[in-house]
Every structure is written in structure tokens, then in C-alpha cells.
Structure 1
Amino acid sequence: MADWSDLTNDVLEYIARLLSFSDHYLFSAVCRNWRSVSKWRWYPPAPQLPWLVLDEESDTSKRKFYSLSEDKHYSIDIPELHGCYICGSSHGWLFAVDIKITGILINPFTRECYELPPFPAYGKNVDVTTLTEKVPSDYIEGPRDYTFEEMQLKIVFKAILSHDPKKKSDFTAMILFGEFNTPAFWRPGDLGWTVVVGQEGSMSDVVYFKGNFYVLSWMNVLRVVDFEPEPKLREVGPEIRVWYHSYQNYLMDFNGELLLINRLCETEENGQTITVDFDVIEPDLENNRIWYWYDFDDLYAIFLGRNSSIFVHSNDFSMCKKNGIYFTHLTETIFSPAEFGCHDLGVYDMKDESISKFFSLEVFPPPVGSPIWLTPNPL
């Protein structure tokens, strides 16, 4: 009988490139030789479906994950994320804010980590370091004292990266923070965040596309970040008028095309907000016009949430819905309590405009907060 530990590296590399993310770890546990190939591999990895990052397990430092490809739940010990709120996912890295409003950037599977500088002030009436000022709000009658727990969920609306830090050391991190989701950026070596000026209204999403950061307002106004001579926002692209008010807008780099996705929701009698439809629009920046998309040519599926938007080739995965838009429940805020749990996540079929579940209730632990998509990046 052949000794599997004596297989040559080229054979092992061929096997390993066919494995899913979870099988990659089983592969590395066979023996020292297999682990060496797994750890130092230079072969292209197999296509991976995103995982969902869920809550912590009670009374532990383990974080729960859900594998869509396996319809399976995992618990992984990541002490650095204990007590943290996940506010962004990009290139396989997570942005997290702890209870003292300190931010970190971490690869949850290699546990490589960057400590982020203190965030800019949430608003002119709030001192994040003390959280003692009272802030008037349109949502709550009278002034309100914010607690650390509340500010942990509110300080950063979204966070993304320009590049994978493991592949490009001079990457840029961009966040939308504060009362109006103001953009600010940080690069390794910077002592603090640099706020981008020129904002009008509140921002909804940000994407890194063809060497630039683009920011979208809640009213579908698209702006690009000009870094020189000082960082500021400049309006670009065609005017995008819609007859409805979308609940959430997303930007994404789809195979070299800039897409804007409007998510439409309805509020039910019990107060739950439920997603009912999506519109996919391509802003043509060169010709100053827009195009509506009605499917992804039966080839792709996309994943939306607080993560950098992700697309995959659905033909690579038998369980992946073609022309599907996988979406997660919108992030909890202090004005949207967790009493309903994770009630609004599913997959939208662009062709028949239906919405269905993508998970088995038996293996999917309903999170209290908002799950977030993550592309596994163990390299």
C-alpha cells in the first residue's frame, strides 16, 4: 500500500487546489509534509464561497461562523475578537470595535492583526473618549446619553480595504463613521485617521474601484475621493433618479464594472423591516448614463452586507443560486433593538423576483446582531 505521506509536492499541490476552505485545514492535519505544502503553498486556491461571521458563543472567546457551501456551523477560538462588534469585512479581513471603542483589523484565520488609531469624534456634541455629552436625536424625544455599548455599534458604519494587507503593505483602510457616515482613511504608519471633506448629506456605502474610492449617498449621489492636494469628495457620474426611497444602497466592483444596488424594504405590522426587492444599476461614468441589469447572465451570484460586496461564479458551486443576491440582516443600532433577532436575511432571485432562505434552521444559529459575509483568506 502506498505511503500517502510520501506523495510528491506537485501531486499534493494538485490535490490541495481542489479543496474547500474547511478541507484545507483537514488536509494540513494529515502529516508534516502535507502541512508544509498547505502552509507555504504557491498554487492558486480553489474558488471559495463566502462564510457568514456570526456572534460569539456564550461565555467563551469563540466566534461562530456559517459555511454556505457545507450548510454547516463552526466555532473558532479568536480571543482578539472577544467582546467586539464586527463593522466591516474586506479581502478576508475583519474590522472590529471593542467595548472601549478601540478598533482592530484582523485576519480571523491567521490572526494577523493591526491596531487602529482612535476613531474621529462621532459628532460635534459627542466626546467618544468620555461619552458624557448629551446628544439630541430625531429618533428619541429629548437629549440622550450614549453609553460605550451603544457607541460601539454606531461609531463606524462600514469599513473596507483597498488591497489585501498580505499582498500589498501600503494598503488604505476607508471607513464611514459618525453621525453622517463621513469618510475617513488610514494607512499603516499614520498616527490617526484623515477625514475627507466636502460631504453633503449622509453616506450609504463605499467601494474601491479601479484605483479610486467611490462613496454613495443615501440619495444615490456618487462621489469620488480626490486625495490631492487635500482629501475631498467630488461628485461624478450620471444623475440617478429613482421613484422610491431605498432602505439601503450598495456599491460594488463587479468583474470590472461599477454597480449600484438599491435594496427595497417594507415595514410589517409587528415592526419588522423585511426586504422585498432589489434594483441593480450600472452608472456609466464615461458616457454619463445608467443601465439597469435584470440578471447576471446565469453565471454569477453576489453577496451584500456590511462587507465589501462580493461576487462569485455560481457555476463553480452547485448549491449557489444563479442570478442570486445573498443579503444579510441590516446592522442593529440603538434605535433598532434586537428583539426580532436575525429576521431579514436570504437570497433574492433576480429573474423571478422571489426571496428564499439559504440555510437550514437546524445548523444556523440565529444571531442577535448582524452577520457579515467574509471570504476565507487563510494564506
Structure 2
Amino acid sequence: MAQGVLRRPQPQWLPPPADPMFTLLLYCTEAAGASAVGMYSLLERREYTIPLPDPPISNRTWIGSSHGWIVTADDKSNLILLNPITGEQIALPPVTTMEHIKPIFNQDGVLDKYEMSYYNGLIPRVEETPYEFDLPEYREVYYKAMLSSNPSSGDCIVMLIHQPYSQLSFARVGEDHWNWIPIGLFYTDCIYHKGWFYTVSVLGAVDAFNLNGPSVVHKRILKDMLTLGYEQMYIVQSPWGDILTVNRMTIIPRNGNPEIEETELYTSDIVVYKADIGEQKLVKMTGIGDYALFIGHNTSSCLPVKDCHMLMPNHVYITDDEYLGYLSLDISDGMLEFTAWKITLSNVVSPEPWKSWLPPIWMMPNLMKTGFQDQNNGGD
């Protein structure tokens, strides 16, 4: 397979911002080294290597992709926005400003650990025993992050789903603290649409949050819909106007099959629902027609394939976002044919070049510059 090195200034083949024809797969690879990533272009069916600024990407994890930016966590678990195409970075507020976190210093006064308290917004407050994390270990409690807009606009909010209990916190780019939302538990995904963040929970409930005023405005727009909780529920704004929720079931095969590694994870089923807000019900869909779904740590999206010859209609393109995916497991990534009767998995890139410790992530490139260029990480 052809491979190139992507060098700045902007390469001519890259698209305008948020062009669905240019969905890319970003991944870490041994060949790229500690300070670069591999990138696979679905349009060109070609791999590129992208050099990235410090801190080295090998010392980070990523937990979100939105508007052409990747949300990364460094070795102190501070969050940094990174545009892999332009090389710009924006430090988000330090982890020590989060509601549930207390910094712990060693005898020399150096930050050594984080202590996380286990409680939620229910009153009276009930707290479990706090737990101490090493600095890089704490980033494992981040589930997913998404942006309200391109940070280049100068008015961007980052929503974070995190432990304890998969709650929500948000921060405005350029401010110095995180804001806890003491409403709701066990969220798994979030999107932003026309001034509102929409979240979905493990039971399929959909909440809406408006963060543009002096206080948080919350609406429960769909009650709990499922009797069993699923950690991998997604929420998608469809191009035709419906809110979709996606239930992705992942299994670890039982022992006894000599052809399957015991540590491999597999997506066993995908169920897509239309959220009928008026009737307060989920309507199971039997197909998505000439559209493709992209799910994983990226902002979940549904894209038309009419003018995108490289995309398969009625398919779900997936990358792993399981918590177990960070435990050096071999993850199944690729695309699924979505029908009412069967799920068929095939690889988008074969052989898979990425490291299993950091699953790949979907993104759409963004070439717009911001006024935050060359900021370093968030500090202690």
C-alpha cells in the first residue's frame, strides 16, 4: 500500500473543514515512532505519516475527535486539544480543577498522585472510599470528550464523560477550570446540535443540556428505554433530522476455540433506533439506506454516501472505545454491514498497522488556524 509523509504547510489533497468525503482514520504505529501518527485516507486508500508536536503522542491517550481536533490526555492526565493537520495545541484546564479530584503531593512538594472521591449529585450525598491514582493512571477514568464547535471559532465548549459513575463536566476553551454537572449518571455518548448537548445513557435515556447561560439548563427528552444497560450506547444526529441511538454489543469469546485469542474483543451486534421523542419510545431501524455511521471515540456521525464513492451505504464504521481496550487487548476495528438479519465485519485497513494499546480513531481534517497556537499542556 502506498505511504507518504504529510509535511506542513497544508497539503493540497486535504479538503475544506468537515467535508464528509475526507473521513480519515488516525492511529499510532511503531513505524511512525513516538512523535508521529499514521493516517489512512478512505478517499485515496492510502496511508500517511503525520509528525506531531510534543509531548510525544506515545505518552498520551485520546478520548475524542471532533471538528478536526483530537482530545488527548498527557502523562499527568491533563487534557490537550490537538489538531494533527496544523500541529496546533490548546491546553484545557488542569485535572486538579475537576470536582472529584484532590491533588496529593510528596514530601518534596511535588504532585505525586490524584485522589478521586466517589459521589454524585444526589442529596443527601453518599460517598464511597476515595481511591488514589498515579498521575498517568487517572486518564483511564475519562470515557469520552466532544467539542461544541471548532476551537478556531473562539467559542468552544468541551464536554467530558468521566468517572465516577460516568458523569459530566465541561470546560470552555480559554478558561481555567472544569465545571461539574451534578445531573444524571452513566452517560456513554454526547453530541452537540444547535446550542444543546445531547447525551445518551446506558439505559437509552436522552438528556439535553444548554450551557450558554449563567446556569445549566437541563431537559430529559427521552426516558429510560432499555431494561439492560449497555456501556456502548451512541447518539447521532441524522442528516434527515432524527435523533438516532446506537447499541453496540461487544463480547469476549468463550474459551475453547483454538482459532480465537482469549483476550480478543469482538462487536457481536449493532442495533440502531430512531428516538421518537413525541411518543417516548425507540423505533428499531432495519437499515440506514444511503448513509454510513461512524462510531468510536469520535463524535458519532451519520454521513451521506451519495457523493462519497469510498464509503459503503448502509454500513457502520467502527473503532474500539471499550475501557478494556486500554489493557493491551486486540480489538476488532473495521466496518459492519447493517441489515435487519446479519452483521458482517470486515477490515477498513488490512493488515491493521496500529498498536493495540491505543485503538484508532475517526476524524475529519480541519485546516483553520486559531489564536491558541503553541500553548503547552495544562500544568499541575
Superposition pairs for residues 1-379 of structure 1, below 5 Å? 47-55=20-28, 57=30, 59-80=33-54, 82=56, 83-119=59-95, 124=100, 127=103, 130-131=112-113, 133=115, 145-154=132-141, 156-166=142-152, 168-199=153-184, 201-227=185-211, 230-231=215-216, 233-242=218-227, 244-255=228-239, 256-269=241-254, 270-297=262-289, 299-333=290-324, 337-338=327-328, 340-341=329-330, 343-351=331-339, 352-362=341-351, 364-379=353-368
Normalising to structure 1: TM-score of the pair?
0.77
Q: Which residue of 2 aligns with 1:4?
A: none
Moved more, 285-294 or 225-234: 225-234
Instruction: Output the amino acid matched with 2:27.
Output: L
Residue 327 of structure 1, CA deviation: 0.8
Moved more, 82-91 or 310-319: 310-319
User: Is the contact between residue 244 and residue 274 of structure 2 (CA under 8 Å) also seen in structure 1?
Assistant: yes
Structure-2 separation of matches of 1:210 and 1:321: 28
Structure of greater Rg: 1
Deviation track 1:90-136 (CA, whole Å, cap 9, x = no partner) reads 01111111001222112111122211111257785864753265989
Deviation track 1:299-352 (CA, whole Å, cap 9, x = no partner) reads 110110111012222232333221000111224459x621x33x2212121125
User: Is the contact between residue 121 and residue 127 of structure 1 (CA under 8 Å) also seen in structure 2?
Assistant: no
Residue 56 of structure 1, CA deviation: 5.1
Specify whether residues 348 and 44 from structure 1 end up closer, same or farther in structure 2 by C-alpha distance, changes over 3 A only: closer
Residue 359 of structure 1, CA deviation: 2.8
Report the structure, 1 or 2, having the larger helix content.
Answer: 1
Q: Secondary structure at the match of 2:138?
A: helix
Instruction: Output the amino acid matched with 2:112.
Output: T
Structure-1 separation of matches of 2:356 and 2:363: 16
User: Is the contact between residue 25 and residue 363 of structure 2 (CA under 8 Å) also seen in structure 1?
Assistant: yes
Structure-2 separation of matches of 1:373 and 1:44: 14
Normalising to structure 2: TM-score of the pair?
0.77
Structure-2 separation of matches of 1:44 and 1:359: 23
Q: Which residue of 2 aligns with 1:13?
A: none
Residue 240 of structure 1, CA deviation: 1.5
Specify whether residues 28 and 182 from structure 1 end up closer, same or farther in structure 2 by C-alpha distance, changes over 3 A only: closer
Q: Which residue of 1 aligns with 2:121?
A: none
Deviation track 1:115-169 (CA, whole Å, cap 9, x = no partner) reads 1111257785864753265989xxxxx9975322322332x21111111122x32
Compare relative contact order (CA 8 Å, sep 6+) and give the higher one, 1 or 2.
2
Kindly report the root-mean-square deviation, in angstroms, between the aligned alpha carbons of the 2 structures: 3.4
Specify whether residues 153 and 52 from structure 1 end up closer, same or farther in structure 2 by C-alpha distance, changes over 3 A only: farther
Residue 191 of structure 1, CA deviation: 2.0
Instruction: Output the amino acid matched with 1:289.
Output: K
Report the structure, 1 or 2, having the larger strand content.
Answer: 2
Structure-1 separation of matches of 2:43 and 2:237: 23
User: Is the contact between residue 63 and residue 76 of structure 1 (CA under 8 Å) also seen in structure 2?
Assistant: yes
Task: Give unmatched runs, 5+ long, in structure 2.
Answer: 105-110, 119-128, 255-261, 369-380
Quote the sequence identity (%): 23
User: Is the contact between residue 64 and residue 76 of structure 1 (CA under 8 Å) also seen in structure 2?
Assistant: yes
Q: Secondary structure at the match of 2:63?
A: strand
Instruction: Output the amino acid matched with 1:182.
Output: Q
Structure-2 separation of matches of 1:276 and 1:101: 32
User: Is the contact between residue 50 and residue 68 of structure 1 (CA under 8 Å) also seen in structure 2?
Assistant: yes
Instruction: Output the amino acid matched with 1:52.
Output: L
Task: Give unmatched runs, 5+ long, in structure 1.
Answer: 1-21, 30-34, 137-141
Structure-2 separation of matches of 1:261 and 1:47: 20
